[in-house]
């Protein structure tokens, strides 16, 4: 009797797995850029690329004065900031969709408003130097409808001097 129940359990499990695989076959989980559709002429599936909005903009239309800023040597503690200025040299408005830093020690700020053709805007990069002595080299990735640009900030954080006041390590209370 145990063998029959065990065999029945394996059959149910195998059938469930087969149904799950069959139902799963139509999903691409975003790994393919194409979708499959039937062509009316021959009823064979053909790949159709997802249509991206047509634009004449290119990454070069985000014309930065500088794409790399060297802070040189800065003191540990205060934030260091730099404003990367750029001009839209294209014929359409540029929309910055994301500006991301390579780590949490750098915070970018930018306008969410479209930058019209011929107009200028800035992306501010703020480097938090507190507790980060030594050299740094951080990337800021700018994603827009014109494409992707990478800006860089670098420099060296000079370790803050130790306090000249001796620390009171006594557990006694002073009167």
Question: In Å, how far are 83, 84, 153, 167 from 123, measured between CA atoms?
Answer: 6, 5, 12, 42
Number of H helices, E strands in the chain: 1, 10
CB atoms within 10 A of CB 89: 15
The pLDDT tens digits of the residues spanning 24-71 come to 344 333 333 333 344 344 444 444 444 445 788 999 999 999 999 999
Q: What's the confidence (pLDDT) of residue 63?
A: 95
> Does the model's pTM come out above 0.75?
no
Summary mean pLDDT of the chain: 76
Using 50, 70 and 90 to split pLDDT, how confident is the model at 162?
confident
The pLDDT tens digits of the residues spanning 93-111 come to 999 999 999 999 999 999 9
Which domains does the chain possess?
74-158 (2.60.40.10)
């Amino acid at each position: 009797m145990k063998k029959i129940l065990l065999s029945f359990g394996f059959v149910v499990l195998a059938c469930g797995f087969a149904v799950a695989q069959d139902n799963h076959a139509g999903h691409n989980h975003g790994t393919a850029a194409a979708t499959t559709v039937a062509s009316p002429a021959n009823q064979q599936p053909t790949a159709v690329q997802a249509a991206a909005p047509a634009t004449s903009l290119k990454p070069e239309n985000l014309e930065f004065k500088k794409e790399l800023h060297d802070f040189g040597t800065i003191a540990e503690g205060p934030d260091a900031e730099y404003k990367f200025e750029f001009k839209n040299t294209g014929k359409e408005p540029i929309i910055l969709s994301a500006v991301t830093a390579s780590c949490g020690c750098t915070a970018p700020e930018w306008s969410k408003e479209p930058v019209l053709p011929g107009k200028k805007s800035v992306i501010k990069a703020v480097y938090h130097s507190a507790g980060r002595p030594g050299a740094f080299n951080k990337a800021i990735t700018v994603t827009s409808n014109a494409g992707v640009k990478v800006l860089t900030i670098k420099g060296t954080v000079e370790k803050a001097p130790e306090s000249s006041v001796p620390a009171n390590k006594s557990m006694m209370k002073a009167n």
